[in-house]
Amino acid sequence: MTPSDVRTLPVPDGLDGLRVDAGLAKLLGFSRTVAAGIVEGGSVLLDGAVAGKSDRLTAGAELEVTLPEPQRPAQPVAEPVPGLRVLHEDDDIVVVDKPVGVAAHPSPGWTGATVVGGLAGAGVRVATSGAAERHGVVHRLDAGTSGVMVVAKSERAYSVLKQAFRQRSVDKYYRALVQGHPDPIRGTIDAPIDRHPRHDWRFAVVAGGRPAVTHYEVVEAFRSASLCEVRLETGRTHQIRVHFAALRHPCCGDLTYGADPALAQRLGLTRQWLHAHRLGFDHPADGRRVEFSSPYPDDLTVALHVLAAAATSGE
């Protein structure tokens, strides 16, 4: 092991009382199974003592985690993925509505369902360009983010779409429910993003980081939160989550970036309220502009209903 394989993680308030394996999975973005395996191997210390996976976390405690050597991502497993809907398919592209809890493609530490595996399980052949575990993938959504995503089926489409994303000619619109009320109600967040200087499983606004630009507008305001239309100009990892956290308006339910756990519980959220609801681009075959959209999934809709009901009742 090298020193970079050891990570020291302070336990945030939002993970207080969770089992060690569950908390570790949330902090590192691993699956619960992988996190449990790390704990069972004696590689996690909780305030200096070897932790068991069923031990409970306490806010302010310190986890010291020795990670296993990096492994090459597994090949995608061809299997049906519940909730993965095909919105459009032709000879060049397939557009899907990705459910929460599904990654775009396999990666180290992820043992759950993937879009690539789900498409293979449905008999959809995709482009073979790119690394074997991410064939056809030209952009990604976090496993904890739902919404519309395009995958290339032909090699031509893969090349054209990759270039379109690089040139920022793809319209990427999200809806984000953020805590509080951003001021001004519409604006642009232009702040570079890179790995957090102390906690490298997270990202942060960092001087000298990669350029990142997020445009937003509040479309509905509630007593304790605001629903925002968000357009990404760039596509950095966790960009929306990091930018709104930097404004002190984290996405509701996003405990990794400082969201209020009490509000998340009241809204019934177990993940960040963030949804890729609209995607527009020039079709790689003939250049015509196409646009696809995805409705809110049930958990996000319920959270909005709770807020609307509170406003009506005056709570």
Q: Which band of pLDDT confidence, cut at 50, 70 and 90, is reported for residue 314?
A: low
**Percentage of the chain modeled with pLDDT above 90:** 63
Q: Identify the active-site residue in 142, 194, 254, 260.
A: 142
Establish whether 183 is a catalytic residue. Answer: no
Predicted pLDDT at 109: 67
Q: pTM, whole model, 2 decimals?
A: 0.78
Q: Which tens digit of pLDDT belongs to each residue from 94-120?
A: 999 999 999 998 877 677 899 999 999
The mean-pLDDT minimum among 32-41, 167-176, 184-193, 281-290 falls in 32-41
Q: What is the mean pLDDT of residues 221-243?
A: 95
Instruction: For residue 59, give Cα distances in angstroms to 79, 101, 102, 248.
Output: 39, 25, 29, 20
Alpha carbons 162 and 131: distance in angstroms, whole number:
14
Q: Which band of pLDDT confidence, cut at 50, 70 and 90, is reported for residue 62?
A: confident
Cite the DSSP H helix spans in 142-253. Answer: 155-166, 239-246
